[in-house]
Amino acid sequence: MYSKIADQKNNFLLESVEGGERWAQYSIIGFDCIDTIKVSGNTIETSIAGVTNKFISENPLEAIEELTAQYQAPDIENLPRFHGGYVGFFAYESSQYAESKIAKLPSKGSKFNEHMPDIMLVKAEK
């Protein structure tokens, strides 16, 4: 199904393929991404409603929580656990934001670090 829109701009396929939780049974397809939150180190770059901002945060997880706090999905019976909002990934390196001991470890470096953010979240229109 995703192959029908794969060549269009601003779309994604997010699949969870392991784990015992209900999350693992879903594939999420989105297109017309309208908002993004990207974290690289302590730099957060947002594009929300067409307005791009870049700022520094000592705690990127708190910043993400503040940016997404306005979105509260109603608790409706018989809907899947995830039925809308931001989707994306938290790279392994993002664990440093939750555990201060990890942040103090020397970086191993990677050829991907400069091209891939620690956290990338998108909100799609469809």
Residues 51 and 17: their CA atoms lie apart, in Å, by: 34
Structure tokens at 7: 């060549």
In a domain, 21, yes or no: no
In a domain, 28, yes or no: no
Structure tokens at 26: 């879903």
Residue 104 lies in a domain: yes
Residues comprising the chain, all counted: 126
Bridge partners of 27? 15
Could you give the CA distance from residue 57 to residue 62 in angstroms, rounded to a whole number?
Answer: 9
Q: 88 vs 99, which has greater pLDDT?
A: 88
Q: How far apart are CA 95 and CA 89, in angstroms?
A: 12
pLDDT at position 27, please?
Answer: 79
Domain extent for 87 = 35-71+78-124
Provide the pLDDT for residue 18.
Answer: 62
Q: pLDDT for 108-121, tens place per residue?
A: 555 566 678 999 99
Domains: count for the chain: 1
Q: 48 or 125: whose pLDDT is higher?
A: 48
pLDDT in tens, 44-93: 999 988 899 999 999 999 999 999 988 877 788 887 777 778 888 998 88
Is residue 56 in some structural domain?
yes
| Residue 1 confidence (pLDDT) | 75
Q: Please indicate, yes or no, if residue 7 is contained in any of the structural domains.
A: no
| pTM (two decimals) | 0.78
Q: Establish if 97 belongs to a structural domain.
A: yes
Supply 105's token pair.
């470890």
Residue 59: inside a domain, yes or no?
A: yes
User: What is the reported pLDDT for 103?
Assistant: 61
Instruction: Tell me what pLDDT residue 95 has.
Output: 84
